Amino acid sequence: MSLVVQKYGGSSVADADAIKRVARRIVDTRMQGHDVVVTVSAMGDTTDELIDLSNAVSGKEHPREMDILLTAGERISMSLLAMAVRDLGVGAQSFTGPQAGVITSGAYGRARIIDVEPGRLRQTLAGGEVAIVAGFQGLNQETQDIQTLGRGGSDTTAVALAAALNADVCEIYTDVDGVFSADPRIVPSARKLNSITYEEMLDMAASGAKVLMPRCVEYARRFNVPIHVRSSFSGLEGTWVKDATEGEVMEEPIIAGVAHDRSEAKITVIGIPDVPGSAARLFEAVASSGANIDMIVQNVSATRTGVTDISFTLPVAAVPEASAAIEADQELIGYTDLVTDDTIGKVSLIGAGMRSSSGVSAKFFAALRDAGINIEMISTSDIRISVVTRAEKLDDAVRAVHTAFGLDSSQGEAVVYGGSGR
Ligand code: ADP
Ligand code: ASP
Ligand code: MG
């Protein structure tokens, strides 16, 4: 007998029938003799609908109340799922994040799990019952307030529970059959990966492949939790996210996949004095706004003028505060103009094999050229190349790169079983 943690995403519990279908799967796992802990997301697009509702009631920032509001979505699905499991004759109890011992720290809306005290869950398992935990939430012990983990945070809840309970596997059930070489909604010919290393999955997730939240992959790598990403709509084997154990051969293609991201914007600061300290002053202002920046490009100074331009990318939601902070320090930084642009997209190619093969960048840029796509920014790591393009060209860019690297599957189209892709 083993201990299995299962996470069901919003599209897997979108309505009453879906909840009953998921309950059946949980009961089947329990009947096979496994201990089962489940974490669940809010039904369908509930989280987005709650955000829309809060905007309709008040356009202002209310971080504490917002977190309480959003955690309600997961409470609805967890309790309904517990009822459905019990109706099938298997004991089950649902728990909020705080009841389950999930302890968080940090800012509202993007708290981190710092510890899990799973006593209550262990008791439930010892009683032969299934424990169902609300995803995406925990209790901040300093403030005694409930907090959320950021969008997609139920993935992290699942891995944190699996680590704390020393589970044999963490199964992430979603609306596609696993991790693909690109988002199947954009590239129907994407191929399912049988396995992927933590390192590559982390870069895929951080580059926008929202099938897993980046922090969940970080957490899994740190605690060595094997993740099995699979569909709750099919019985197919999905994708294993783990490192190869000794003697085991993992698939080792040069490229793991192509990821894309539409959630960033670009800020360009024009006419900054090209002297030591300018970049520090600019990014100190940005840091004071709490924004996390991604790419940075500084154009070569025209010696004639002695000034330069710096562009950087950051989450769209962080633009108002970041630009206000830069504008407040305009005199100190000494720039002339600030331009924001939220019509950008980012395409990234990820693969650990890049470290040891040449010509990858050339092929990547040639693919974009052949598709008529202009590159606005470039950044690289040893296993990733990313470029910023116009948002409306992003889908074409993803498909062009995917094809150029021979990633298209010959086994028919990838299935997207549900979800709105929102
Ligand atoms: P859930 O509600 O189950 O958490 P998400 O919508 O957060 O589901 O994540 C699943 C979605 O991730 C898929 O429907 C797919 O559109 C998207 N996705 C993006 N990149 C990939 C990828 N490389 N492989 C699989 N899915 C991907
Ligand atoms: N319901 C939350 C969201 O939509 C958390 C999650 O689904 O993982 O982001
Ligand atoms: Mg998700």
* pLDDT (0 to 100) of residue 191: 96
The ligand minimizing its distance to the Cα of 175 is 1
Quick one: tokens of 127?
A: 């009683």
| Mean pLDDT (the chain, rounded) | 95
pLDDT of 77 over the 70 cut = yes
The reported pTM is 0.94
* pLDDT (0 to 100) of residue 251: 58
The pairing of strands 264-273 and 307-315 is antiparallel
* pLDDT (0 to 100) of residue 254: 87
Distance CA 397, CA 383 (A): 19
* pLDDT (0 to 100) of residue 419: 72
| Alpha helices per DSSP H over 184-342 | 198-206, 214-223, 278-288, 319-328, 330-333
* Residue of 38, 45, 47 with the most ligand 2 atoms within 8 Å of its CB, for mutation: 47
* pLDDT (0 to 100) of residue 303: 65
Closest protein CA for atom 5 of ligand 2: 152
* pLDDT (0 to 100) of residue 28: 97
Distance CA 262, CA 305 (A): 35
Domain extents for the chain? 3-249
For residue 10 and ligand 2, the question of a CB distance below 6 A is answered with yes
pLDDT of 181 over the 80 cut = yes
For residue 210 and ligand 1, the question of a CB distance below 6 A is answered with yes
Q: Is residue 18 helix, strand or coil?
A: helix
For residue 135 and ligand 2, the question of a CB distance below 6 A is answered with yes
The ligand minimizing its distance to the Cα of 186 is 1
Strand-pairing partners, residue 343, are: none
Kindly report, residue by residue over 253-289, the tens digit of the pLDDT.
789 999 999 999 999 999 999 999 999 999 999 999 9
Average pLDDT over residues 38-46: 98
**Which residues touch 192 (CB under 8 Å, ≥6 apart)?**
177, 178, 179, 180, 238, 239, 409, 414
For residue 172 and ligand 2, the question of a CB distance below 6 A is answered with no
Kindly report, residue by residue over 120-156, the tens digit of the pLDDT.
999 999 999 999 999 999 999 999 999 999 999 999 9
Ligand 1 atom closest to residue 175's alpha carbon, by position in its atom list: 14
- Contact predicate 260/183, CB 8 Å: yes
Distance CA 135, CA 132 (A): 9
Give Dmax (Cα) for the chain: 79
DSSP annotation of 177: S
pLDDT of 301 over the 80 cut = no
Closest CA to 34 of 70, 73, 66, 5: 5
pLDDT of 244 over the 90 cut = no
* pLDDT (0 to 100) of residue 348: 98
The pairing of strands 102-105 and 112-116 is antiparallel
Average pLDDT over residues 223-250: 88
Q: How far is the CA of 74 from the centre of ligand 2 (A)?
A: 8
Strand-pairing partners, residue 236, are: none
Number of alpha carbons in the 13 Å side-chain half-sphere of residue 376: 23
Average pLDDT over residues 77-88: 98
> Which CATH architecture does the domain made up of 3-249 adopt?
3-Layer(aba) Sandwich (3.40)
* pLDDT (0 to 100) of residue 422: 74
Instruction: Identify the band that residue 59 occupies on the pLDDT scale cut at 50, 70 and 90.
Output: confident
pLDDT of 238 over the 80 cut = yes
Q: How far is the CA of 412 from the centre of ligand 2 (A)?
A: 30
Average pLDDT over residues 187-201: 96
Residues shown for the chain:
422
Percent of the chain as helix, strand, coil, to the nearest 5:
35, 25, 40
Q: Is residue 196 helix, strand or coil?
A: strand
Average pLDDT over residues 312-318: 95
* pLDDT (0 to 100) of residue 246: 65
Measure CA 382 to chain center.
21
Average pLDDT over residues 26-48: 97
Burial of 408 per CB tally in 10 Å (0-12, 13-18, 19+):
middle
* pLDDT (0 to 100) of residue 247: 63
Instruction: Identify the band that residue 306 occupies on the pLDDT scale cut at 50, 70 and 90.
Output: confident
The fraction of the chain above a pLDDT of 90, given in percent, is 90
**Which residues touch 100 (CB under 8 Å, ≥6 apart)?**
116, 118, 120, 121, 131, 133, 134, 161
* pLDDT (0 to 100) of residue 411: 86
pLDDT of 248 over the 80 cut = no
Distance CA 328, CA 276 (A): 21
- Contact predicate 50/73, CB 8 Å: yes
Kindly report, residue by residue over 355-402, the tens digit of the pLDDT.
988 899 999 999 999 999 999 999 999 999 999 999 999 999 999 999
- Contact predicate 163/225, CB 8 Å: yes
pLDDT of 324 over the 70 cut = yes
Distance CA 404, CA 116 (A): 44
* pLDDT (0 to 100) of residue 230: 97
Kindly report, residue by residue over 128-137, the tens digit of the pLDDT.
999 999 999 9
* pLDDT (0 to 100) of residue 1: 72
Number of H helices, E strands in the chain: 12, 20
Instruction: Identify the band that residue 250 occupies on the pLDDT scale cut at 50, 70 and 90.
Output: low
